[in-house]
Structure 1
Amino acid sequence: MSNSVERALRILVELADGPSTISELGRRLDVHRTTSLRLLRTLEEERFVRRADDGAYRLGPRLAALAAAALDGLDIRDSAARHLAALGDTCGQTIHLGVLEGHQVMYLDKVESRQAVRMYSHIGALAPLHATGIGKVLLAYLSAGERDDLLGASPYPRYTPNTLTDRAALDEVLDRTARQGWALDDFEHEEFIHCVSAPVFDAAGRVAAAISVSAPSMVLDRPGLLAHTEDLTSTARAISEELGWSQR
Structure 2
Amino acid sequence: MPARRRPAQTASPTESAPRPEYRIEALAKGLRLLALFTEQHPAWRVSDMAAASGVPLPTVYRMVMTLTAEGYLVHLPNGDYRPGVRVLTLGSAALRSMDLVELATPELKALAEATGETVNLCVLTGDQVLYLIRIRNSDLVTANIQVGSTLPAVFTSIGKLLLAHLSDDELETRVTAGSFLPPHGPNAKLSLDELRDELAAIRRDCCAVQDEELAFGLRSIAIPVRDASGQVIAGLNVAVQARDWSAQRLIRELRPQAARTGQEISLLLGCSQV
Match of 2:219 in 1: 194
Match for residue 228 of structure 2 among 188, 203, 212: 203
- Would you say 1:135 and 2:159 are equivalent positions? yes
**Cα distance, 1:161 vs. partner?**
2.2
TM-score, normalization: structure 1?
Answer: 0.66
Match of 1:216 in 2: 241
In 1, Cα distance between equivalents of 2:192 and 2:139: 37
Match of 2:44 in 1: none
Match for residue 172 of structure 1 among 169, 176, 197: 197
**Greater mean alpha carbon deviation, residues 154-163 or residues 210-219:** 154-163
Question: Which structure is larger by alpha-carbon Rg, 1 or 2?
Answer: 1
Match of 1:36 in 2: none
**Runs in 1 of length 4+ with deviation above 6 angstroms?**
none
Q: Is the 8 A contact 2:108 2:261 kept in 1?
A: yes
In 2, Cα distance between equivalents of 1:233 and 1:156: 28
- Would you say 1:234 and 2:260 are equivalent positions? yes
**Cα distance, 1:208 vs. partner?**
0.9
Distance change (3 Å), C-alpha of 1:117 and 1:161: closer
Q: Is the 8 A contact 1:200 1:207 kept in 2?
A: yes
Match of 1:23 in 2: none
Match of 2:49 in 1: none
Q: Secondary structure at the match of 1:189?
A: coil
**Cα distance, 1:92 vs. partner?**
0.7
**Matched residue type, 1:208:** I
Distance change (3 Å), C-alpha of 1:117 and 1:156: closer
Distance change (3 Å), C-alpha of 1:83 and 1:155: closer
Q: Is the 8 A contact 1:98 1:108 kept in 2?
A: yes
TM-score, normalization: structure 2?
Answer: 0.60
**Cα distance, 1:94 vs. partner?**
0.4
**Cα distance, 1:244 vs. partner?**
1.0
Q: Is the 8 A contact 2:186 2:215 kept in 1?
A: no
In 1, Cα distance between equivalents of 2:205 and 2:216: 25
- Would you say 1:162 and 2:162 are equivalent positions? no
**Matched residue type, 1:183:** A
Any unmatched runs of 5+ in structure 1?
1-72
Cα root mean square deviation, aligned? 2.0
**Cα distance, 1:233 vs. partner?**
1.0
**Cα distance, 1:243 vs. partner?**
0.8
Number of aligned residue pairs: 175
In 2, Cα distance between equivalents of 1:100 and 1:74: 15
Match of 1:109 in 2: 133
